[in-house]
């Protein structure tokens, strides 16, 4: 029996279903472990000691690589002073100042812990500011696991999900249609910077969509909320729609901002400052200095080492290699997404069975990526890791190619 199987047996006794949430490995094939033991740079080790080049980065939080020295050093230094005190530390102010300086639309910041805390708080601030309840949300978009947004909605009340109207990402007409569906003004439109729903090719926003949603919010007196939880710190430190010239009123950040240490933030424009100040919110660990020290070190390292550029180049190298390999094996694939958060799907694969097969073969060969969810590059992915990974992915394509009828 593997260590993984033994742990899963123990887990089944004391954890509902054996595991839960996005790290429940049942959605993946038997080639994937459920339990991990360690991480370092771009590599992780499972409970049985098997090594993987890591293209999931804990589903986003790890942006500089596991145990990145500058972050770990900042954390250890802060631990010498303290973490959870009777008030925030200077670091809290510094981090709010950093966000306000880095992110174009941000005049202020409020820190919290989960990405869901940040998206939920952004909705509350928009509602407090406008005195309205209704929010337009892209169909199928993931904004967290609170009652209002959790996929499936198990255990949520009807009332908790009543004030949302869906639209289609990248379809401005559908946003207008959603608005017109009810004679009730809207508090906000919330969107991710790109479409990154699971089991779907990734889709960048068209400039017309992003600008159109911005104009619609201006016209309606509603807030535009950008959910940067997944894209933030990987696409553009100024904000993921900055290059399109589009500024949100509120943005929700988490995952990568502290390289894995638990932290999230709502950033807001000047016009929403008073509403934010009226929106009571708090958490026992939200002022903890250790995660804040990790965030300050992470943002400094990202900025000064061109981490985003390096992730983009590594992602380009990886996906270019994958596309070439697939073609060589006679497989038609689609590479989608920006190179820092790339994804690959197979043609004629409606049930994702080919993707699952290929990803499982990659896992067996020490490359950890997901068949139905975008991958995450980190700044620790260097030439050596990409080359090693591409050897494994080529063998995995060969397996899949030989199984697919030509």
SS3 269: coil
Among 42, 66, 194, 337, the residue binding its own copies under the rule CB under 8 A is 66
Site for its own copies in 338-357 (CB under 8 A): none
Q: What DSSP letter does each residue of 44-84 carry, written as one string?
A: EEETT--EEEESSGGGTT-SS-BT-HHHHHHHHHHHTT-SS
Maximum Cα–Cα distance across the chain = 66
**Cβ 257 vs Cβ 264: under 8 Å:** yes
Q: What DSSP letter does each residue of 362-373 carry, written as one string?
A: HHHTTEE--SSS
Binding of its own copies at residue 72 (CB under 8 A)?
Answer: yes
Q: Which of 308, 307, 270, 286 is nearest to 129 (CA)?
A: 270
Binding of its own copies at residue 371 (CB under 8 A)?
Answer: no
Q: Closer CB to its own copies, residue 270 or residue 306?
A: 270
Among 127, 196, 234, 357, the residue binding its own copies under the rule CB under 8 A is 127
Binding of its own copies at residue 150 (CB under 8 A)?
Answer: yes
DSSP H helix total and E strand total for the chain: 11, 13
Site for its own copies in 158-217 (CB under 8 A): 158-160, 162-163
CB atoms within 10 A of CB 373: 20
Site for its own copies in 221-250 (CB under 8 A): 229
Among 64, 68, 105, 124, the residue binding its own copies under the rule CB under 8 A is 124
Among 68, 105, 114, 165, the residue binding its own copies under the rule CB under 8 A is 114
Q: In what order do the strands lie in the sheet with 186-191?
A: 108-112, 264-268, 250-253, 223-227, 186-191, 134-138, 164-167
Q: Closer CB to its own copies, residue 81 or residue 139?
A: 81
Binding of its own copies at residue 36 (CB under 8 A)?
Answer: yes
Shortest spacing between CB 96 and its own copies, in angstroms: 4
Among 199, 245, 285, 383, the residue binding its own copies under the rule CB under 8 A is 285
C-alpha 399/C-alpha 396 separation (Å) is 5
Q: Closer CB to its own copies, residue 20 or residue 199?
A: 20
Shortest spacing between CB 34 and its own copies, in angstroms: 6
Binding of its own copies at residue 5 (CB under 8 A)?
Answer: no
Binding of its own copies at residue 313 (CB under 8 A)?
Answer: no
């Amino acid at each position: 029996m593997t260590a993984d199987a033994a742990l899963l047996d123990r887990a089944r006794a004391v954890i509902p279903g054996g595991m839960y949430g996005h790290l429940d490995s049942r959605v993946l094939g038997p080639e994937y472990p459920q339990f991990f033991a360690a991480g370092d740079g771009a590599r992780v080790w499972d409970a049985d000691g098997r090594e993987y080049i890591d293209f999931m980065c804990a589903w986003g939080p790890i942006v500089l690589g596991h145990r990145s020295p500058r972050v770990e050093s900042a954390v250890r230094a802060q631990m010498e002073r303290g973490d959870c005190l009777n008030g925030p530390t200077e670091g809290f102010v510094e981090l709010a100042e950093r966000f306000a300086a880095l992110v174009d639309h941000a005049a202020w910041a409020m820190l919290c812990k989960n990405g869901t805390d940040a998206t939920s708080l952004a909705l509350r601030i928009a509602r407090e500011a406008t005195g309205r309840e209704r929010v337009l949300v892209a169909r199928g978009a993931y904004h967290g696991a609170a009652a209002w947004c959790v996929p499936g909605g198990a255990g949520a009340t009807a009332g908790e999900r009543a004030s949302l109207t869906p639209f289609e990402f990248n379809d401005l007409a559908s946003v207008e249609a959603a608005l017109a569906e009810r004679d009730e003004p809207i508090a906000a439109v919330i969107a991710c910077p790109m479409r990154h729903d699971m089991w779907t090719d990734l889709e960048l926003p068209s400039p017309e969509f992003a600008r159109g949603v911005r104009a619609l919010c201006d016209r309606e007196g509603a807030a535009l909320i950008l959910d940067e939880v997944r894209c933030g710190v990987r696409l553009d430190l100024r904000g993921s729609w900055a290059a399109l010239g589009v500024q949100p009123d509120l943005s929700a950040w988490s995952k990568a901002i502290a390289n894995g240490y638990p932290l999230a933030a709502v950033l807001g424009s000047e016009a929403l400052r008073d509403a934010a100040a009226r929106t009571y919110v708090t958490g026992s660990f939200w002022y903890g200095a250790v995660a804040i020290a990790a965030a300050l070190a992470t943002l400094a390292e990202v900025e000064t080492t061109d981490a985003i550029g390096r992730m983009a180049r590594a992602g380009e190298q990886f996906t270019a290699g994958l596309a070439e390999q697939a073609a060589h094996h006679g497989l038609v694939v689609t590479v989608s997404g920006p190179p820092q958060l790339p994804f690959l799907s197979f043609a004629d694969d409606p049930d994702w069975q080919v993707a699952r097969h290929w990803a499982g073969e990659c896992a067996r060969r020490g490359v950890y990526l997901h068949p139905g969810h975008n991958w995450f590059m980190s700044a620790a992915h260097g030439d050596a890791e990409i080359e090693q990974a591409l050897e494994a992915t080529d063998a995995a394509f060969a397996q899949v190619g030989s199984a697919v009828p030509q």
